Amino acid sequence: MSDLLELRAAFDKGLVSDGGGSVRYLLIEAKAREPLDLSCYDGDSPCDMNMKAGAALNLVLVIDASGSMSGARIAEAKRAASQIVKGLGSRDYISVVSFAEDVIVHVDGRLCDSNGKRAVLSAIKDIEIRGSTNLCEGWLTGARCAGRVMEKRSGLKSHVLVLSDGRANFGTTDPGVLAVHAQQLQLRGLTTSAIGIGEDYSTEQLYTMAVHGGGVVHHTPNSDELVAVVCGELEELRRRAVENLELTISYPQEVTVELLSFLPCEFANKGKLMVNLGGISSQACRSLVLRVKVAEQYDEQRGLIKFGIVGSYRQSNGEETELSTRPLQVSLRYADYDLSSTQAVNKTEALKIAEIWQSWLIWETCEMNRRRNYQKIDRFLGREERYMKRFCGSLAEAQPLLKEVKELRRQACIDWDEASRKEIQSSSFRRSYEISDMRTISPRQWQTYLPGSTGAP
């Protein structure tokens, strides 16, 4: 058992009606609370952002070199890759792979001492634009490069960073298959993040690889933001404290549970939900929300409905030892209808619940809008708006969130442009994952990208 990770959990309200029908929301927060030892970094680039590394890195850059990356995009991708190399220390390893229809390994697990850096920088300059987009094979080739380093050296943080502006149109393209690969790599200690460039990259493919791979996605509508975003990702990688965090949530048979998140999850059996939260940086937090529906009390001797929560993870230093959190238990208590319906809400928890919930439903709405599944959007948002209206009834601070959901519903059946979808989904992803926007120019609020907004492009 380890104290590296702290779990917190709380319901919006603690009482439920003994006649059944109550709906409650459970907020679970995981925080990596032990600061890292950052005393031995020796990089020589502004990309280090004043960071000093604990565990050495085993980093793979996988760069899209298909035709759509020609011009400024490939030039900025190469410049960003070069900045990454300059920001690495002499204990770090780097691999560089480019993909089009074919895949080329330009650097295969090179140590970043002074000679290594010169060789890698020279290799990056030689990357050229080619043909189609074999995203999966480029990514997996990069993973194999990382794997070879992992076989030789233990105690490394191993990570693949994919830079792409397009949709895979060659090789494996099925997001379900990509998810399986990403999960398997994460289990082996190799995580994946992605940077989507422009408007045409596949949200489904890149987010699947990253979310199931324990990493994150950054959206860069303009290639001139690539250096800042890539350097920001390197900083966060150095701060990474835990990897492959999986929560197991157990609950009794008198409740049904729904996860309001796009985090990978599995209902392992009756009364057990497993959710993968990926990797978390030191002092950072990741949260999830469960909607809990409670049936009528069937046993007068059991006044409590108990939920058990425990997390398993690895420390982000390349070690394979699985650690676990201290088990956590939270409860709902049956009460008569009048008492349960008039109880006060836990305002701090409830407001965060509403924010995470809203981020999830915005994300789902974007996906359905992209597919022009307008009937499904109306049913989905109608249902969620009803739930949120009841939830926000006694929480004045959440009323603006409800108002935004109503406006979202009003405009959700208009065909949005893809640039707006990308910005809206990027915003909801960052809010849900509680990560920063790495761009130097902060985007507008997500609502301004709706087509009916006066601030929309």
255 domain residue, yes or no? no
Mean pLDDT of 73-80: 94
C-alpha to C-alpha distance for 195 and 105, rounded to whole angstroms: 19
In whole angstroms, give the CA distance from residue 25 to residue 255: 12
Structure tokens that stand for 194 in this block: 């992605």
Domain end residue (candidates: 241, 268, 288): 241
Dist. CA 164–CA 196, nearest whole Å: 5
pLDDT at 320 over 80: no
Query: Please, what sign has the CA dihedral across residues 111, 117, 121, 126?
Result: negative
30 backbone dihedrals φ, ψ, rounded to 5°? -120, 125
Q: Residue 134 contacts by C-beta under 8 Å, 6 or more apart in sequence? A: 99, 100, 101, 102, 103, 168, 170, 171
Say which CATH number the domain at 121 has. 3.40.50.410
pLDDT tens figures, 121-174: 999 999 999 988 899 999 999 999 999 999 999 989 999 999 999 888 888 889
Residue with tokens 């699985």, as numbered in its chain: 322
Q: Which of 206, 225, 241 is the last residue of a domain?
A: 241
Six token digits for residue 69? 């990356």
Task: Tell me the C-alpha distance between 83 and 101, whole Å.
Answer: 26
DSSP 389: H
Bridge partner list, 27: 10, 289
Q: Is 209 within a domain? A: yes
- Identify whether 277 is part of a domain: no
Whether the Cβ atoms of residue 278 and residue 211 lie closer than 8 Å to each other: yes
Stretch 42-46: mean pLDDT, rounded? 48
Residues 433 and 279: their CA atoms lie apart, in Å, by 10
Q: 49 pLDDT band (50/70/90 cuts)?
A: very low
In a domain, 263, yes or no: no
Which of the 8 DSSP states describes residue 397?
G
Average pLDDT, the chain: 91
pLDDT at 386 over 70: yes
Whether 14 is covered by a domain: the verdict is no
- Look at residues 241, 269, 301 and tell me which one is the last residue of a structural domain: 241
Q: 77: which residues sit within 8 A by CB, 6+ positions away?
A: 63, 64, 69, 163, 197, 223, 226
What is the total count of domains within the chain?
2
Residue at 441 is within a domain: yes
Q: b/e per residue, 329-343, with b = 16+ CB within 10 A? A: ebebebbeeeebeee
Q: Which residues lie closer than 8 Å to 42 by C-beta, 6 or more apart?
A: 89, 90, 91
Q: What is the pLDDT of residue 456?
A: 45
Structure tokens at 437: 């926007």
The 3-state DSSP class for residue 129 equals: coil
Amino acid, single-letter form, for residue 375: Q
Q: Three-state DSSP class for 175?
A: helix
Instruction: Give the model's pLDDT for residue 321.
Output: 84
Record the tokens describing residue 263, joined without a space. Answer: 């985090």
Note the pLDDT tens digit of each residue in 104-119.
Answer: 999 999 999 999 999 9
Domain presence at residue 420:
yes
Q: Is residue 380 part of a domain?
A: yes
Helix or strand run (H / E) with residue 193:
strand 190-197
Q: Do 237 and 362 lie in a common domain?
A: no
The CA-based angle 317-53-113, given to 5 degrees, is 100
What the block records as the tokens of 18 is 């003994």
The larger pLDDT score, comparing residue 21 to residue 253, is at: 21
Domain of 435? 347-449
For residue 306, what are the β-bridge partners? 331
Instruction: Name residue, tokens 């634009």.
Output: 129
Asked whether the predicted pLDDT for residue 298 surpasses 80, the reply is no
For tokens 């993973």, the residue is 143
| Residues 224-253, mean pLDDT to the nearest whole number | 93
Amino acid 76 reads: E
Query: Do 370 and 222 fall within a single domain?
Result: no
Whether residues 229 and 353 fall in one domain? no
With 0-12 CB in 10 A as exposed, 13-18 as middle and 19+ as buried, what is 3? Answer: exposed
Residue 178 near residue 209 (C-beta atoms within 8 A) = yes
The two structure tokens encoding residue 129: 């634009």
Among 270, 351, 303, which residue's Cα sits nearest to residue 17?
Answer: 303
